[in-house]
């Protein structure tokens, strides 16, 4: 819960590490001056002083309370400046904001996680939560896709996941290269034949809007119920407080009622994928 006196004020934060993940994505390890606890799926606003703010969903373990990691794709003015940040610089953090994944609702269930591109960032944090409570879920599947093998976030780490016996991982790329031995095709091409009860299972989808749109369609065809589908909506988040009006979806604000939504709650709103 966000309880600062002034909700627009960022907390002074030190940049501890900057790691290059892909040609367009860097991961920052940050240490806020005041502890900032988040639930997986919630987001924060990162301020570059004098430049502006941008929203990111932490990719680190919610359990770690003194530092926070975010993976930032270079797409605009603020993210460009974030990519220039060096270890030791000062930034600002606000948050956490919004509603994350309802972990309790997943207990005892079969869970499929479907990720695309930059959607891997929030999903990594989610996967840490699953691993942490490994015994509490019936089974766990991860299906991820990226444009090319170079675009895989946390590649080494995800490859490591395939060694786990509490997880079934499969990856795909839209376009392979000489070294890629896995599946080639969009993520929906690796959703068939997953050994789980589709009618009862949970599916969590996070990625670019088009990818989510087609993944949801595919999952519905496979028999998943709308009430068991979760997605993470990318909107133009700014205040994080349900006030600035920028992120409205139907009767909700993505920054407050989301970014994680159960599909049945938003499916009747027009044009949610645009």
Q: Which of residues 241-260 bind another protein (CB under 8 A)?
A: 241-248, 250-251, 256
Single out the residue of 238, 9, 95, 82 nearest to residue 247, CA to CA: 238
Q: Which is nearer to another protein, 163 or 251 (CB)?
A: 251
Contact status: 107 vs another protein (CB under 8 A): no
Distance of alpha carbon 78 from alpha carbon 75, whole angstroms:
8
Q: Which of residues 252-271 bind ligand FES (CB under 6 A)?
A: 253, 255
Distance of alpha carbon 77 from alpha carbon 167, whole angstroms:
38
Among 18-26, 34-42, 178-186, 241-249, which window interacts with ligand FES (CB under 6 A)? 241-249
Binding test (CB under 6 A) with ligand FES, winner from 25, 78, 247, 249? 247
Task: Give the helix ranges, DSSP H, for 115-208.
Answer: 120-132, 155-161
Residue 55 is inside which H or E element, if any?
strand 52-56
Contact status: 237 vs ligand FES (CB under 6 A): yes
8 A C-beta contact, residue 202 and residue 130: no
Contact status: 209 vs another protein (CB under 8 A): yes
Residues 6+ apart with CB under 8 A from 161: 127, 142, 167, 169
**String marking each residue 30-49 x if it binds another protein according to CB under 8 A:** ---x-------------x-x
Kindly state the smallest distance separating residue 77's Cβ from ligand FES, in Å.
18
Contact status: 238 vs ligand FES (CB under 6 A): yes
Q: Which is nearer to another protein, 227 or 236 (CB)?
A: 236
What pairing do the DSSP bridges indicate for beta strands 202-206 and 229-232?
A: parallel
Contact status: 194 vs another protein (CB under 8 A): no
Distance of alpha carbon 217 from alpha carbon 188, whole angstroms:
9
Q: How would you label 24-43 residue by residue, b for 16+ Cβ within 10 Å and e otherwise? A: bbbbbbbbbeeebebbbbbb
Contact status: 240 vs ligand FES (CB under 6 A): yes
What does the DSSP 8-state code read for residue 86? -
Among 147-155, 181-189, 215-223, 240-248, which window interacts with another protein (CB under 8 A)? 240-248
Contact status: 270 vs another protein (CB under 8 A): yes
**Total number of residues that touch ligand FES (CB under 6 A):** 13
| Residue 240, φ and ψ in degrees, nearest 5 | 80, 5
Contact status: 115 vs another protein (CB under 8 A): no
Distance of alpha carbon 33 from alpha carbon 87, whole angstroms:
16
Task: Give the binding site for another protein (CB under 8 A).
Answer: 2, 4-12, 33, 47, 49-54, 73, 75-76, 78-79, 92, 209, 234-236, 238-239, 241-248, 250-251, 256, 270-271, 274
Task: Give the binding site for ligand FES (CB under 6 A).
Answer: 237-247, 253, 255
């Amino acid at each position: 819960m966000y309880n600062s006196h002034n909700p627009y004020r960022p907390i002074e934060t030190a940049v501890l590490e900057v790691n290059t993940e892909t040609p367009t994505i860097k991961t920052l390890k940050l240490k806020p001056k005041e502890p900032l606890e988040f639930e997986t799926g919630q987001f924060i606003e990162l301020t570059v002083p004098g430049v502006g703010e941008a929203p990111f969903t932490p990719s680190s373990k919610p359990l770690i309370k003194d530092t926070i990691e975010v993976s930032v794709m270079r797409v605009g003015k603020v993210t460009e400046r974030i990519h220039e940040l060096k270890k030791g610089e000062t930034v600002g953090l606000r948050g956490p904001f919004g509603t994350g994944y309802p972990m309790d609702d997943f207990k005892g269930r079969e869970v499929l996680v479907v990720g695309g591109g930059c959607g891997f960032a929030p999903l990594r944090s989610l996967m840490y939560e699953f691993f942490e409570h490994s015994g509490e879920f019936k089974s766990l599947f991860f299906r991820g896709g990226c444009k090319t093998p170079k675009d895989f976030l946390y590649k080494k780490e995800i490859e490591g996941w395939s060694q786990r016996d509490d997880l079934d991982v499969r990856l795909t790329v839209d376009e392979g290269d000489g070294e890629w031995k896995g599946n080639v095709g969009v993520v929906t091409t690796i959703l068939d034949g997953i050994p789980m009860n589709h009618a009862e299972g949970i599916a969590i989808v996070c990625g670019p809007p088009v990818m989510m749109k087609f993944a949801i369609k595919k999952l519905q065809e496979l028999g998943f119920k709308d009430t068991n589908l979760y997605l993470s909506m990318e909107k133009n988040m700014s205040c994080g407080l349900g006030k600035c009006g920028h992120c409205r979806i139907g009767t909700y604000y993505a920054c407050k009622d989301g970014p994680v939504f159960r599909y049945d709650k938003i499916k009747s709103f027009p044009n949610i994928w645009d």
